[in-house]
Amino acid sequence: MEYFYLASIFLFVLFLLLGTGVWIGLALMGVAWVGMELFTTRPSGDAMLTVIWASASSWTLTALPLFIWMGEILYRTRLSENMFHGLAPWMSRLPGGLLHTNVVGCTIFAAVSGSSAATLMTVGKMSIPELRRRGYPEFMNIGTLAGSATLGLMIPPSLTLIVYGVTINESITKLFVAGILPGLVLASLFMGYVALWHFFRPSQRPEPDPPMGFMEKFRNSSNLIPIICLILVVIGSMYMGYATATEAAAFGVIGALVLAALQRALSWQSFLGSLMGATRTSCMIALILMGASFLSLSMGFTGLPRSLAAFIDSLDLSLYTLIAALTIFYIIIGMFLDGISAVVLTMAVVEPMIRAAGIDFIWFGIFIVVVVEMAQITPPIGFNLFVMQGLTGHPIGYVAKTALPMFAIMVLMVVLLVLFPELATWLPETARQAPQ
């Protein structure tokens, strides 16, 4: 009972600080400081300095700002314009037509961005006006884009997987490789949903685009080839064991700068804009990680994570029941926090549970990304919903309604991961051993 009292105090202080507008990273530090002062004898200032420096000086964490910078550089190029015109000729003859450009476009940009919001903005700014002009129903335009943009959290280089790996001390390279197959399966499920709409709602289909010859299709897609080559180099170098995640990120930044220069989109202004954008995002995530590391230390001294894990273990839950409970838990947490904050805030408590249950940490990283993706399109604070609202002008309730089928598909993806864990573990086991 004592530990439920401690947990209540931690949650009260956390929501009090967040409710007053304190930054998430500072709020986590505040909760940790209260816990250290009230329930331990160790000096809180000394402990905070030590653990914050240790978390901020991690070599693995250097991959994070580099991947963010790569996405920022490409975000400022003509990638979104080239993407739609390059994909449209190949997608128009599929069941569902050009709605597939939302899914495939998000899949491609997710592989160079790592951010759900950046993926949504980049693809949406080009695809939404084009789909509207061609007469595709607004419900499908918005829903498929809001759901598909969450692939930015799954397909490497995923910022959420980097943060999870640093938090739990797991190989970033293995996590990236593990995210490839589930990401492609989820994208295929999204495309299947579009195909089902095509067959079950024939009255909503617009007139198809006129047919186009193979060479004309190829010419329209030629601008996408360098981007795809960059993706293959970055991901392939990690999969084949030639580079760590940090080294692959450095290759990605150099490649993105070269592509931007070839597109004549690399000016001094765009270079500084990408650099400052990456710096702001990296500092935000780093501050959250610092706060989370101090909070983990504080809770460790109080014994709260071990006690909660022991309590869950005493319930003698089956593995499937535990996974179902964690799914609901992360969906609720994700309604109020962004994905990265949800991961770092909860891992101190959740890690002992999954370790005691014998759950593979690589598999759990992919699982947690899927449920965090679900939270991105879940009201009241699903981040993608707000981005989509700003992009389209529709009320948040309407946007959430359009994304509901995509939410159901992600629930199906969780079921598939539980029934076929090899979806997340097979590639890391077959990939060459990369340096950590």
436 in a domain, yes or no? no
| CA atoms of 373 and 147, how far apart (whole Å) | 8
pTM of the model: 0.77
pLDDT at 436: 46
Structural domain tally of the chain? 1
**Could you give the CA distance from residue 156 to residue 224 in angstroms, rounded to a whole number?**
18
Which token pair is 205? 């289909």
What letter does residue 421 receive in the DSSP assignment?
A: T
Note whether residue 9 is domain-resident: yes
Structural domain including 144 reads 2-430
* Domain assignment of residue 351, yes or no: yes
Kindly state whether residue 435 falls inside one of the protein's structural domains: no
For residue 394, is it within any domain? yes
Closest to 389 measured CA to CA, from 187, 142, 176, 99: 142
Assigned token pair, 143 = 């829903």
Residue type, 350: V
Provide DSSP, 63-75.
HHHHHHHHHHHHH
Concatenate the DSSP letters of all residues of 366-377 into one string: HHHHHHHHHHHT
C-beta contacts of 331-335 below 8 A and 24+ residues apart: 331/371, 331/374, 331/375, 331/378, 333/375, 334/371, 334/372, 334/374, 334/375, 334/376, 334/378, 334/382, 335/375, 335/378, 335/379, 335/380, 335/381, 335/382
Confidence at residue 413, expressed as pLDDT on a 0 to 100 scale: 93
8 assigned to some structural domain = yes
Helix 225-239 / helix 172-200 crossing angle, nearest 10 deg: 130
Burial class (CB in 10 A: 0-12, 13-18, 19+), 212: middle
Residuewise pLDDT in 10s, the chain (436 residues): 555 667 677 777 777 887 787 777 788 788 888 878 877 777 777 777 777 777 676 666 777 788 778 877 877 776 656 777 777 777 777 888 888 888 888 888 777 776 777 777 778 777 888 888 888 898 998 989 888 888 877 888 787 888 888 888 888 888 888 988 999 999 999 999 999 998 988 888 787 767 767 677 777 777 677 778 887 888 788 777 777 777 888 888 888 888 888 877 778 888 888 888 888 877 877 777 787 778 777 777 777 666 666 666 677 778 888 888 888 888 777 666 666 777 777 777 788 778 878 889 999 999 988 888 887 787 766 777 777 887 788 887 888 888 899 999 999 999 999 999 999 988 888 765 544 4
| Residue 346 to residue 348: CA distance in whole angstroms | 6
